[in-house]
Amino acid sequence: MATGKINVSVENIFPLIKKFLYSDHEIFLRELVSNATDATLKLKHLTSIGEASVEYGNPIIEIKVDKEGEKIHIIDQGVGMTKEEVEKYINDIAFSGAEEFLDKYKDSAKDSGIIGHFGLGFYSAFMVAEKVEIITKSYTDAPAARWTCDGSPNFTLEEAEKETRGTEIVLHVAEDSTEFLEESRIEELLSKYNKFMPIPIKFGTRTETLPKPEDAKEEDPAPTQEVDNIINNPNPAWTKLPTELKEEDYKGFYRELYPMQFEEPLFNIHLNVDYPFNLTGILYFPKLTNDLSAQKDRIQLYQNQVFVTDNVEGIVPEFLTMLRGVIDSPDIPLNVSRSYLQADGAVKKISSYITRKVADKLASLFKNNREDFEAKWNDIKIVIEYGMLSEDKFYEKADKFALYPTVDGTYYTFEELQEKIKGNQTDKEDKLVILYASNKEEQHSYIEAAKNKGYEVLLLDSPIVPHLMQKLETSKEKISFTRVDADHLDNLIKKEDTQISKLSDEEKETLKTDIEKTINNKSYTIQMEAMDSNASPFIITEPEFLRRMKEMQQTGGGGMFGMGNMPEM
Ligand code: ADP
Ligand code: MG
């Protein structure tokens, strides 16, 4: 038997990094801008604790595209590196200088917003570049250094000329990546990944129109000047405290997030917690349209203000994926599969925190301005109903503010409804019978008949309502939902009020046979004794359970919510 050691040489690693490290080549820019940001935040921290005696000033990060020279430059004014530091941080793959920094300055730097983590980001440069240069000058007095590497494990490192503090990364763009030499493509990447990063990012200049001087003539053109084109908002609303923000700020931030969205959000929920995990963010309830599948993937996930993804599946409960907004948490592990995420303890806590915040916000809206809450009910009910079905914790809270509108537009909570109908709408088994209609026009005569009897009729028309009724019937004692045109409505009919039909028995029989022939459906029942003789001479009913089963089958399959996950009925 032979034993030995498998030899992993660096030669083998480069092609692997290039191919597999990140599935998306475009994230190279995010990684390099993150490093530039970290370098700047480190300097900010070091100057603030007196460890660096330089002026911090107003540093920016600049991105330049040199189409002719086939190069991209990423320039920062951060801490820079000495030659020794380049050896340590760059040549050592998978050694994270960011982690080291956070370790060293532990408590004082924990809120510094430093992004780096795995010590791999820099090498993503080789996904798009055939050669990478680093020209860097440390904030200390050490001379500047130049490192170059062509994607093989061989590098050069020498002293260089650079007067200004900071680092310039030069990417010599590879032939298969020339798309990144297009300004529009870089702009697109910057606005996707870097729109809310904490250090101003300059990409070119833009012309700004200045106000005309007092003595200008009518025909004089307004003066203009070239200014830095800063592509990001370094202080997005979610990084501020709720007390610093007004309603208008939240709306403004919504427009910033969704420039193409003209509808205003219904309300927002500010998330802000730093123990036992770190999470900030703002969620919005949008006005939902009927095309619910189009509503998904609208919450954006950030880590320290760097965009990560707009697929938050596994991180927020499914019923909340219809909301919009931002969540930012460094505590969500992203280098793992989604199914693993759902099992992760920290992620579970985050998910239930978000659920609770949403429930609390809804409860306070209901409590503080019921009228407004009722007005919004139609636009928010699907989220709430779906949440009640799928998350028990949410159900417990929502049960107090979920509304049940009547066909006439009165809104009851469940408790109020019970109070209102008890006594009057009880069946032979002493169950409370909750009457509802799902279509006001089609069920018009049934609704009228029931109302004439003094019954309350709810209007429940959202697609998941059959599931919700099932849930309520099993969670609450002695209630049953019955559609106004269902058969066991008989149980409720106050016989003494029923007018006797003017038809003879024979006429009734003939009519009944005719109707049966026409509708030709064995599961329907025809009752010649009308609920209300003024409205309808006979009624056709279908057993409640049969119809509901059919409805649930319709919404049960891979509907827009992927109701495959629905609790067993
Ligand atoms: P991470 O950011 O996770 O630490 P990277 O591979 O992205 O790992 O970067 C490795 C290290 O190289 C950084 O931690 C940092 O010490 C150093 N570095 C990279 N880019 C810069 C830069 N622009 N300025 C100063 N140091 C940098
Ligand atoms: Mg990094």
Q: What is residue 153's predicted lDDT score, i.e. its pLDDT?
A: 79
pLDDT score of 20 more than 80: no
Mean pLDDT, rounded, for 467-484? 90
196 vs 493, which has greater pLDDT?
196
pLDDT score of 289 more than 70: no
368 vs 506, which has greater pLDDT?
368
pLDDT tens digit string along 39-87?
A: 999 999 999 999 998 999 999 999 999 999 999 999 999 999 999 999 9
Read off the pLDDT band of 30 (50, 70, 90): very high
356 vs 260, which has greater pLDDT?
356
pLDDT tens digit string along 213-243?
A: 888 888 888 899 999 999 999 999 999 999 9
Mutate to test the pocket of ligand 1, among 61, 122, 138 (most ligand atoms within 8 A of CB): 122
DSSP state of 313: B
Q: How far is the CA of 33 from the centre of ligand 1 (A)?
A: 10
Q: What is residue 424's predicted lDDT score, i.e. its pLDDT?
A: 83
Protein residue with least CA distance to atom 7, ligand 1: 121
pLDDT score of 498 more than 60: no
Read off the pLDDT band of 135 (50, 70, 90): very high
Read off the pLDDT band of 110 (50, 70, 90): confident
Strand ranges for 312-459 from DSSP E: 324-328, 403-405, 411-413, 432-437, 457-459
Mean pLDDT, rounded, for 188-205? 97
Q: What is residue 556's predicted lDDT score, i.e. its pLDDT?
A: 54
Mean pLDDT, rounded, for 127-153? 94
Protein residue with least CA distance to atom 18, ligand 1: 35
Q: What is residue 294's predicted lDDT score, i.e. its pLDDT?
A: 58
Q: Are 285 and 380 in contact (CB under 8 A)?
A: yes
DSSP string, 7-49: ---HHHHHHHIIIII-S-TTHHHHHHHHHHHHHHHHHHHHHHT
pLDDT tens digit string along 248-257?
A: 999 999 999 9
pLDDT score of 562 more than 50: no
* Average pLDDT of the residues of the chain: 86
Mutate to test the pocket of ligand 1, among 30, 37, 38, 99 (most ligand atoms within 8 A of CB): 38
pLDDT score of 171 more than 50: yes
Least confident of 96-110, 124-138, 341-355: 96-110
Q: What is residue 492's predicted lDDT score, i.e. its pLDDT?
A: 62
Q: What is residue 495's predicted lDDT score, i.e. its pLDDT?
A: 44
DSSP string, 487-556: GGGGGG--GGGPPPPSS-HHHHHHHHHHHHHHH--TT-EEESS-S-TTT-S-EEEB-HHHHHHHHHHHHH
pLDDT score of 292 more than 70: no
533 is annotated as contributing to ligand binding: no
Q: What is residue 170's predicted lDDT score, i.e. its pLDDT?
A: 98
97 is annotated as contributing to ligand binding: yes
Least confident of 208-222, 289-303, 491-505: 491-505
Q: Does ligand 1 lie within 6 Å of residue 535's CB atom?
A: no
Mean pLDDT, rounded, for 168-192? 97
Q: How many CA atoms lie within 13 A of 66 on its CB side?
A: 12
Protein residue with least CA distance to atom 14, ligand 1: 97
Protein residue with least CA distance to atom 19, ligand 1: 35
Distance CA 386, CA 384 (A): 5
Q: How many helices (H) and strands (E) does the chain have?
A: 16, 20
Residue 200: both structure tokens together = 């101003």
In the chain, pLDDT over 90 holds for what percent of residues? 52
Read off the pLDDT band of 489 (50, 70, 90): low
Read off the pLDDT band of 541 (50, 70, 90): confident
For the CA of 119, the nearest ligand: 1
Close Cβ partners of 451 (under 8 Å, ≥ 6 residues apart): 407, 457
pLDDT tens digit string along 405-431?
A: 999 999 999 999 999 988 888 877 788
Read off the pLDDT band of 340 (50, 70, 90): confident
Q: How far is the CA of 74 from the centre of ligand 2 (A)?
A: 13
Nearest by Cα to 328 from 250, 270, 266, 396: 270
Least confident of 131-140, 296-305, 489-498, 542-551: 489-498
Q: Judging by DSSP bridges, how do beta strands 457-459 and 432-437 pair with one another?
A: parallel
Q: How far is the CA of 96 from the centre of ligand 1 (A)?
A: 7
Residue 6's Cα: distance from chain center in Å? 45
Least confident of 335-344, 418-427, 442-451, 498-507: 498-507
pLDDT score of 305 more than 90: yes
In the chain, pLDDT over 70 holds for what percent of residues? 87
ipTM topping 0.85: yes
Q: What is residue 502's predicted lDDT score, i.e. its pLDDT?
A: 67
Query: From residue 428, how far is each of 432, 491, 526 by CA, in Å?
Result: 10, 6, 21
pLDDT score of 569 more than 50: no
Q: How far is the CA of 40 from the centre of ligand 2 (A)?
A: 13
